Amino acid sequence: MIICLPNGTVVHHINANYFLDITSMKPEDVESSIFSFSTNFEDPSTATYLQFLKEGLQRAKPYLQT
């Protein structure tokens, strides 16, 4: 999965196999704070994808400021 700007600049990416691996783990087994599980969602895939999108938005900010 990638997040890119309209000009094609990739600002964030994650390998689909890694995403599936990390979402199949128990929350206490996940060491990475980037893909920690949110308490608002019970589904690990949804929580991890939401965190991925938030991280992508943070990384895109420098490119979007004029």
Please write the tens of the pLDDT for every residue from 38-50.
Answer: 456 567 888 889 9
Candidates 14, 9, 25; CA nearest to 55 is 14
* Banded model confidence at residue 34, pLDDT cuts 50, 70, 90: very low
- Over the stretch 49-63, which tens digit does the pLDDT of each residue have? 999 999 999 999 999
Count of Cβ atoms closer than 10 Å to residue 59 Cβ: 13
Cα(46)–Cα(7) distance, rounded to whole angstroms? 27
In this structure, are residues 8 and 66 in contact, taking their beta carbons and an 8 Å threshold? no
What's the confidence (pLDDT) of residue 11? 96
Task: Supply the pTM of this predicted model.
Answer: 0.71
Cα(38)–Cα(56) distance, rounded to whole angstroms? 16
Instruction: Give the distance from CA 14 to its chain's centroid.
Output: 7
